């Protein structure tokens, strides 16, 4: 799997990999770049069928898993000769991070899990959304997604919703099917990386209770609940989120 990606920041700095949510592109993380690229080399990537990443033809529920996405990130690390990195992800991007930390614990030295979960809803709901998108595309999802992603009145919502509208139906649907079977609730105790778990206080998709499961299950984890933020807390409250992420990455790095 080839994931479109880009680097920003000093070429000789330690690397933090940033994964986007379902329906967004690597541009989701633009509000974090000024803070992170001062001292970090940032590697961002696009999910299949999102942004610059192609969606493999004929993807079905049996073809793409979150483990496959984590393998795609590992392939990027190998391609660029990166042995150990920090990783931050939003929603599906966070699930990829948890999976990466389980799959290759020696490669992930620090972990930031934003508005994500160890288990996302029911399989039926994800398969239903995948079927809708395969039939009608992503545009019918926009208004319901606005209410999940942002609190009422967020002024910059359209910029992020345009990412959803532009997502390829097959890639988006395949990611839905991957989320339908994702469940690492019984493996959280295996995560070795120190983790910062961030939740939006008003997130209806992955509410703070989901973050509490992650923070309670990962042995070395702290929890931050961001007020006045919904599912895309990184976009809605970058002031709070950026301070927390930079503090975590600066102080929490597993060396052995």
User: SS3 for 7?
Assistant: strand
CA distance 202 to 206: 9
Share of the chain above pLDDT 70, in %: 96
CA distance 161 to 177: 21
Q: What is the pLDDT of residue 254?
A: 63
CATH topology of domain 5-251: Rossmann fold (3.40.50)
pLDDT tens profile 91-111: 999 999 999 999 999 999 999
Contact 44, 113 (CB under 8 A): no
Residue 63: pLDDT over 90: no
Contact 207, 143 (CB under 8 A): no
CA distance 200 to 141: 21
Q: What is the pLDDT of residue 252?
A: 82
pLDDT tens profile 121-178: 999 999 999 999 999 999 999 999 999 999 999 999 999 999 999 999 999 999 999 9
3-state helix, strand, coil in the chain (%, to 5): 45, 15, 40
Rounded to an integer, what is the distance from CA 22 to the centroid of its chain?
A: 8
């Amino acid at each position: 799997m080839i994931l479109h990606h880009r680097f920003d920041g000093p070429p000789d700095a330690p690397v933090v990999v940033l994964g986007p949510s379902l329906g967004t592109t690597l541009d989701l993380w633009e509000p974090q770049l000024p803070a992170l690229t001062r001292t970090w080399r940032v590697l961002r990537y696009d999910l299949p069928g999102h942004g610059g990443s192609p969606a493999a033809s004929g993807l079905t529920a049996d073809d793409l898993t979150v483990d496959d996405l984590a393998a795609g990130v590992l392939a990027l690390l190998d391609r660029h000769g990166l042995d150990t990195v920090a990783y931050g992800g939003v929603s599906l991007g966070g699930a990829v991070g948890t999976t990466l930390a389980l799959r290759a614990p020696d490669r992930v030295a620090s972990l930031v899990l934003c508005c994500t979960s160890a288990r996302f809803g029911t399989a039926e709901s994800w398969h239903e959304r995948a079927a809708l998108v395969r039939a009608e595309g992503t545009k019918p999802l926009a208004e319901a997604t606005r209410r999940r992603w942002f609190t009422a009145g967020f002024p910059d919502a359209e910029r992020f919703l345009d990412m959803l509208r532009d997502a390829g139906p097959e890639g988006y649907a395949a990611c839905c099917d991957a989320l339908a079977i994702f469940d690492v609730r019984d493996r959280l105790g295996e995560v070795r990386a120190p983790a910062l778990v961030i939740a939006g206080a008003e997130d209806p998709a992955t509410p703070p209770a989901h973050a509490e499961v992650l923070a309670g299950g990962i042995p070395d984890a702290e929890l931050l609940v961001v007020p006045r933020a919904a599912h895309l807390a990184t976009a809605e409250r970058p002031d709070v989120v950026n301070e927390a992420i930079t503090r975590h990455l600066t102080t929490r790095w597993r060396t052995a």
